[in-house]
């Protein structure tokens, strides 16, 4: 008897469906061709037909409809005009997530990766706070790159549909990076119009009457570019390595493929049944010239978030490039990317015209995630700073408070105590409805910073992009608050471990307040 190989455990539901259809349509081969034909009962034939139909129906209903539509329309004929034209650009796509500070850190990493690999970076929008979560790298419990890519793409479509799309280049100023040719960039909306083959203006998608069909087409295009169907020769290379298995390096001097110092401990391996091994890999060697990825027009990453942990970096460890002066220069440039002038000027205006005195900034993150368990330590740091200021200078001490704790809940907290002692402390804080916030949002909506990056080749047949469309800017309050804190001449007290606090410290280090008008 011939040995029959085992079925691949990774066989998809779509393949199962195809197998069922194949079995249903094949005529069964008779065991003995010399046997005389037998007359089967009509009832038996009916039962066989019903049984076959039932199997087909069960297989079909268990396959996600999105996967069916993708399989039927994209694997046979992927409609990517860019793939079939002689264009010099190759792109890098990635999937941001979590809060704005984390998204900004990923953006910096993406700039670096795109420059190393000589690719044009696709500038993403700012995602809603925690609309997409990565998970925990230290616990080896994160979403796969494909899952994050498709989730981000779906959220981006929702931002377009509801008129809430805001490019990260609308918020942070990358003009000096682009003008110096340190990195090549293209706005996501321009890229999506080009690659999805749509003669529409994605900047104003919420105004289009045929929105439903366009969104459906965008979802299909996004599913393919997210790697749901795997790689597409010369078009797409989806990077599946994530923080569980890989630490990306560049000219580190380490042996390529060397074991990283941080690995899952034996207890975690046993408890979570983890078999991952983390290795340090040079990104240029793995995804650059001569690699399978280098030929693809689009290189698609999942998360590009990293942070130090137990003496290692969780995903990207590129802090120097000793043999590449261009990248070394870029590493220095992206250490700090400032907000656009509209935001920085709003922060300075509030400091000069509302507070009108030297002040302390207190960034108190008290409700979100791990920080709600460290409220006492957060308040202790503020109290120590105020005790020191009370002994040195005049009173009342002016304090700008940046917190996620609503004013209605200050009673019984240290903030409530400060608010009551008006002879000693004068507190300032902003709300979304503040006129300065409203006016800054309007200025950002008309400035169109993000749409300045990237152009669509006329040969593709995509219309020009409008620069002024009705948009709703969210999180403007957060950006202005950070800018105000950068102007705090009496100092800054921030929540330990908060990426917002780290962002403010960086702004203060580069003295951005003094340079605004």
Residue among 246, 233, 262 nearest 301 (CA): 246
pLDDT for 23: 34
pLDDT for 225: 87
pLDDT for 45: 59
pTM exceeding 0.75: yes
C-alpha span between 144 and 241 (Å, rounded): 9
Q: Are 447 and 340 in contact (CB under 8 A)?
A: yes
Q: Which CATH architecture has domain 341-510?
A: 3-Layer(aba) Sandwich (3.40)
Total count of residues recorded for the chain: 517
Enter the tokens of residue 395: 């009173």
pLDDT for 211: 66
Residue ranges of the chain assigned to CATH 3.40.50 = 341-510
Residue among 77, 215, 95 nearest 149 (CA): 95
pLDDT for 458: 42
pLDDT for 450: 85
Sequence-distant (≥ 6) Cβ neighbours of residue 184 within 8 angstroms? 89, 114, 119, 120, 121, 178
Q: What is the mean pLDDT of each run of 10 residues along the chain (517 residues)?
A: 41 38 36 43 60 52 38 41 60 94 96 96 93 92 94 91 90 93 90 76 58 79 88 91 96 93 88 88 96 93 95 95 94 96 97 96 86 83 94 92 92 93 95 94 88 58 49 86 97 92 95 77
| DSSP at 226 | T
**Exposed/middle/buried for residue 515 (C-beta within 10 Å: 0-12, 13-18, 19+):** exposed
């Amino acid at each position: 008897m011939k040995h029959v190989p085992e079925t691949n455990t990774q066989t998809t539901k779509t393949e199962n469906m195809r197998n069922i259809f194949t079995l249903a349509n094949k005529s069964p081969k008779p065991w003995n061709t010399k046997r005389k034909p037998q007359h089967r009962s009509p009832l038996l034939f009916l039962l066989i037909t019903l049984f076959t139909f039932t199997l087909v129906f069960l297989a079909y209903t268990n396959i996600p409809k999105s996967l069916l539509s993708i399989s039927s329309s994209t694997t046979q004929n992927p409609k990517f005009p860019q793939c079939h034209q002689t264009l010099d650009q190759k792109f890098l796509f990635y999937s941001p997530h979590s809060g704005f500070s984390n998204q900004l850190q990923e953006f910096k990493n993406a700039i670096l990766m795109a420059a190393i690999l000589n690719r044009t970076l696709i500038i993403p929008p700012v995602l809603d706070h925690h609309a997409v979560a990565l998970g925990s790298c230290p616990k080896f419990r994160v979403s796969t790159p494909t899952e994050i890519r498709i989730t981000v793409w779906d959220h981006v479509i929702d931002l377009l549909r509801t008129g809430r799309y805001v490019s990260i280049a609308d918020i942070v100023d990358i003009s000096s990076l682009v003008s110096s040719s340190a990195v090549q960039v293209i706005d996501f909306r321009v890229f999506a119009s080009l690659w999805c083959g749509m003669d529409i203006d994605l900047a104003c998608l919420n105004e289009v009457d045929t929105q439903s069909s366009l969104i459906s087409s965008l979802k299909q295009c996004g599913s393919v570019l997210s790697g749901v169907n795997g790689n597409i020769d010369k078009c797409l290379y989806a990077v599946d390595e994530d923080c569980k298995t890989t630490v990306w390096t560049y000219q580190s001097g380490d042996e390529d493929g060397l074991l990283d110092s941080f690995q899952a401990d034996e207890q975690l391996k046993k408890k979570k049944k983890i078999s991952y091994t983390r290795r340090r890999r040079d990104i240029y060697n793995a995804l650059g010239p001569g690699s399978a990825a280098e030929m693809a027009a689009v290189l698609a990453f999942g998360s590009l978030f990293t942070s130090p942990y137990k003496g290692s970096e969780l995903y990207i460890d590129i802090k120097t490039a000793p043999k590449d002066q261009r990248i070394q220069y870029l590493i220095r440039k992206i250490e700090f990317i400032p907000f656009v002038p509209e935001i920085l000027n709003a922060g300075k205006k509030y400091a000069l015209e509302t507070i009108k005195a030297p002040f302390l900034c207190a960034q108190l993150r008290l409700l979100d995630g791990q920080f709600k368990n460290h409220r006492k330590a957060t308040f202790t740091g503020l109290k120590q700073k105020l005790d020191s200021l009370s002994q040195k200078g005049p009173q009342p001490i002016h304090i700008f408070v940046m917190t996620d704790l609503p004013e209605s809940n200050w009673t019984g907290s240290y903030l409530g105590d400060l608010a009551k002692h008006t002879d000693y402390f004068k507190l300032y804080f902003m709300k979304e409805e503040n006129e300065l916030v409203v006016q800054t949002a309007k200025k950002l909506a008309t400035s169109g910073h993000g749409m300045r990056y990237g152009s669509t080749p006329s040969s593709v047949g995509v219309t020009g992009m409008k620069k002024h469309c009705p948009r709703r800017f969210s999180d403007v309050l957060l950006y202005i608050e950070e800018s105000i804190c950068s102007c705090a001449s009496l100092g800054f007290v921030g929540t330990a471990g908060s990426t917002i606090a780290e962002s403010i410290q960086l702004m203060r280090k580069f003295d951005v307040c003094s340079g605004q008008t």
